[in-house]
Amino acid sequence: MYYGKLSQADLPSNRQKCGSCLINQSASDSMDTRSVCAWPMMTKYLALCLLLATSVSVRADDAEFSSRDAVPIVMAGLVLEESVAPPVEAAPDEAKSCERVSFSRSLKYGEHDLNVLDVATVESQESEHATLRPVLLFVAGESFAGEGGAPDIAGTLQDEAMCFAARHGMVGVKVTYRLAPANPWPAGARDVAAATSWVYQNIDLFGGNREEIVAVGYSAGAFHVASFLAHPEFQARDSNVAGAVLVSGLYRPSADASAAEKSYFGADASKYDERSVFPGILSIDTPLLLAWSVTDPPHLVTQGEKLKELLCNSPAHCPYTTVLSARDSLASVFALDASSSSLAGPTLELVREIEARGLP
């Protein structure tokens, strides 16, 4: 089955929206969305009226306390303090990161059950003729193998990375791909190619610019993105990317490979060189941002440093490079504040450079 160009009618009708009101409504639902959103507001007003009706007067000499000295308000067993968020709400940072972001979930880009992707956007207040936005395509995974062939990254953390893209005027896409042992080399690279082809053909439906796709490979995903770039034979129709970010990847497997790596690359170490990203990665002209963390295992730091050295000495170009102070998850390397010490700033710079190339 060919997973090509979609129309607006093909998009799921139950898109999730994060913000003051969360809606997950199917096309068959007859419920009025405005009623759904209005109910929490009505509840808040009722609670406020009850509080005012049952409040007691305070002495005049107590009325001069400042807001920082205020005591908690206790009502019907509920304690509300500035330092404690209500249990039903998201943590402040998480709520801020995905505020006003809409998600389109589990869009098929291939025949396998795991060939799905999510898209995150912020609805524009501009006209329908607004400028198309750059796209960050996240390919993340901590291992080359996994039980059931499913990626082992927490979905929430990946969502926060997509929200980073949406908040900064881009479209965020998260890709799920096949894993070993059921799907050995080169399944990962082929899935990246198929997902990129789908995005190239359909991202305009979400306000994205197919000419400004930046693939972000994280951990094992960094190898799959690099392998996709380095091996033209794995690429699919319309699977071009305008740039790539490679974070803490393994780029050349070695004879002392882990069990998970062997399940993907195979047990025959004599084939590891041809299954690496070399020499193909050294001849591409795609702009690269290369990153690793000082807390990474030594062999990953060595892999990043070696790739940078070889690229700088190749006919291609020297990559942008960032050394992170820490790397706990995909979300952690794209901090909420783009000015902080993370990949946020360098990634935005790369995207803006790519955007500038398309200007008249």
Extended strands (E) in the chain? 16-17, 73-75, 78-80, 101-108, 116-122, 133-141, 171-176, 208-219, 243-247, 288-293, 320-324
148-197 tens-digit pLDDT: 544 444 567 789 999 999 999 999 999 999 999 999 999 999 999 999 99
Where does residue 128 rank: exposed (0-12), middle (13-18), buried (19+ CB within 10 A)?
A: exposed
Q: In terms of C-beta distances under 8 Å and separation of at least 24 residues, what long-range contacts does 280-285 make, across chains too?
A: 280/229, 280/230, 280/231, 280/232, 281/226, 281/229, 281/230, 281/251, 281/307, 281/311, 282/310, 282/311, 282/314, 282/315, 282/316, 283/314, 283/315, 283/316, 284/229, 284/230, 284/316, 285/316, 285/317
CB-side neighbour CA atoms (13 Å) of 230: 25
306-349 tens-digit pLDDT: 999 999 999 878 999 999 988 888 888 887 555 556 899 999 99
55-78 tens-digit pLDDT: 333 333 443 333 333 333 333 333
Q: Which CATH superfamily is domain 98-357 in?
A: Alpha/Beta hydrolase fold, catalytic domain (3.40.50.1820)
Query: What does DSSP assign to residue 147?
Result: G
- Given this model, what pLDDT does residue 328 score? 85
- Given this model, what pLDDT does residue 317 score? 85
- Given this model, what pLDDT does residue 165 score? 96
Higher pLDDT, 261 or 93: 261
Higher pLDDT, 233 or 4: 233
Lowest mean pLDDT among 245-259, 299-313, 337-351: 337-351
Mean pLDDT, the chain, integer: 78
- Given this model, what pLDDT does residue 339 score? 54
- Given this model, what pLDDT does residue 69 score? 39
105-122 tens-digit pLDDT: 999 999 999 999 999 999
Are residues 174 and 162 in contact, defined by beta-carbon separation less than 8 angstroms? yes
Q: Residue 42 belongs to what H/E stretch?
A: helix 33-54
CA distance 218 to 223: 8
Q: Which of 87-96, 119-128, 298-307 has the highest mean pLDDT?
A: 298-307
Query: What does DSSP assign to residue 131?
Result: P
CA distance 246 to 214: 11
Q: Model-level pTM?
A: 0.76
Higher pLDDT, 43 or 344: 344
131-161 tens-digit pLDDT: 999 999 999 988 899 875 444 445 677 899 9
- Given this model, what pLDDT does residue 74 score? 31
Q: Pairing between strand 78-80 and 73-75?
A: antiparallel
Residue type, 160: E
